[in-house]
Structure 1
Amino acid sequence: MKNIVVGVGNVLFKDEGVGIYASKFLQQNYEFNDDLEIIDGGTLGFKLMTYFQEYDNVIILDTVSVEDEAGSIYRLPSEVLLGMGQYRKTAHEVEIVEMLEICSVLDKHATVTILGIIPEDIEAVEIGLTSTLEDKFDDFISQALEEIENIGVKVKKVDNKDLKIIAQELIGSYNGEHLTRIPNEEDTTWN
């Protein structure tokens, strides 16, 4: 079976980046057997449809627009998501639901599950999560690991990097704290 975890969102808008951070966190702290791929889906939108067609199981890590307390975590199988018109509040939420609708009429498509967390702030232009989502991040990761194991993938913890370090290595900044150099910057000497 081909399985994939797709972190979706935009790290420039506070909690909107939680899916990206979660996918990077999983990649850097865990090993999975060969039956799982993890990618940063960013804001690929309709380009994600390829994954819906080529994989058996797709787990999407994202924010979810549901009227509930910030930090609440929802597991939404695609058949539930298709009936939730109010879910479509951000551009990528619209695209995900539209892709699911298109795929639902195709002969072969993945079993898609959205693991979503309710954001506190997706409007501020700042790299980093709110304290509310930071407090719930470990729970979000635990739910993602449970979902991964439920599709038959073996999980092994290999490191203990924290969210802040992972975000700084990815972007160079997290909640106003910056690295002293740009990630992956080469040391060049000018002659």
Structure 2
Amino acid sequence: MELAGDGSGRDAARILVLGIGNILWADEGFGVRTVERLAADWRFPEHVTLMDGGTQGLYLLPHLENADALIVVDAIDYGLPPGTRRVFHGDDVPAFLGAKKMSLHQTGFQEVLASAMLVGRCPPTLILVGVQPECLEDYGGGLTDTVASQVTPTIDIILGLLRDRFGVEGTRRDAAADIAAPAIARDAYEGGRPSAEEACRIGDSRILAALSASEV
């Protein structure tokens, strides 16, 4: 889902800021939630696109092929303390995305980068902004406090990269825009979560019950 891109800049380098991850599994949603917040609070020239890439995998390939620069925002398992931020450039980006795969979405995005490279249409500039997750095994859960506290500092990093690397200045919106669909916007999604007693936090309880029955 494309989140933003307005203003001027038709002849400038096309920049894609891409949040990837799965909001259904706690800190897995960090990249999506960060870009969602960035798009809600800031506006940019039209050559800058902010996108919720979710877990779309190869469906993202056309968007990469049309970009001159790619900034990926994701939860990355560096094996470091939760909430640790790291920024990588160039060849280090696919290396770290594939070093310790946490879920299928990372495998899928590895394929996207590999496919773009194979046809010679990978963005020349690659940047990865990643944060070490704390919890990934909480189905229906939101960001942990540790990782949520890194959303604003990560946005500051992205704004700095856009300004210092590409000469792009964001403009603060007067009021936050409603970017995500209401049901999955972070406040509604996390605020409307049922209690642990009312919900299964490790998967679909119907499937889990069927699996348990088959083992008997």
Which bin holds the TM-score, normalised by the shorter protein? Answer: 0.7 to 0.9
Aligned to 1:13: 25
- 1:24 equivalent to 2:36? Answer yes
- Alpha carbons of structure 1 residues 134 and 166: separation in structure 2 relative to 1, 3 Å: farther
- 1:154 equivalent to 2:169? Answer yes
* Contact 2:16–2:64 (CA under 8 A) maintained in structure 1: no
CA drift of 1:145 comes to 1.4
* Contact 2:72–2:127 (CA under 8 A) maintained in structure 1: yes
- Alpha carbons of structure 1 residues 167 and 98: separation in structure 2 relative to 1, 3 Å: closer
- Alpha carbons of structure 1 residues 92 and 78: separation in structure 2 relative to 1, 3 Å: farther
CA distances 1:69-128 after superposition (whole Å, capped 9, x unpaired): 111111122401334452333212222223323333433320222211111011101242
Listed as ranges, the gaps of 5+ residues in structure 2 are 1-12, 194-216
CA drift of 1:132 comes to 0.4
**Aligned counterpart for 1:116 among listed residues 117, 124, 130:** 130
**Aligned counterpart for 2:116 among listed residues 103, 112, 136:** 103
- What residue identity is the alignment partner of 1:151? F
SS of equivalent residue, structure 1 residue 82: helix
- Percent identity, aligned pairs only, is 25
CA drift of 1:147 comes to 2.0
Listed as ranges, the gaps of 5+ residues in structure 1 are 180-191
- What residue identity is the alignment partner of 1:134? A
User: How many Å separate the matches in 1 of 2:166 and 2:183?
Assistant: 28
Greater C-alpha radius of gyration:
2
Q: TM-score, normalised on structure 2?
A: 0.72
User: How many Å separate the matches in 1 of 2:183 and 2:39?
Assistant: 12
CA drift of 1:32 comes to 0.8
* Contact 1:11–1:128 (CA under 8 A) maintained in structure 2: yes
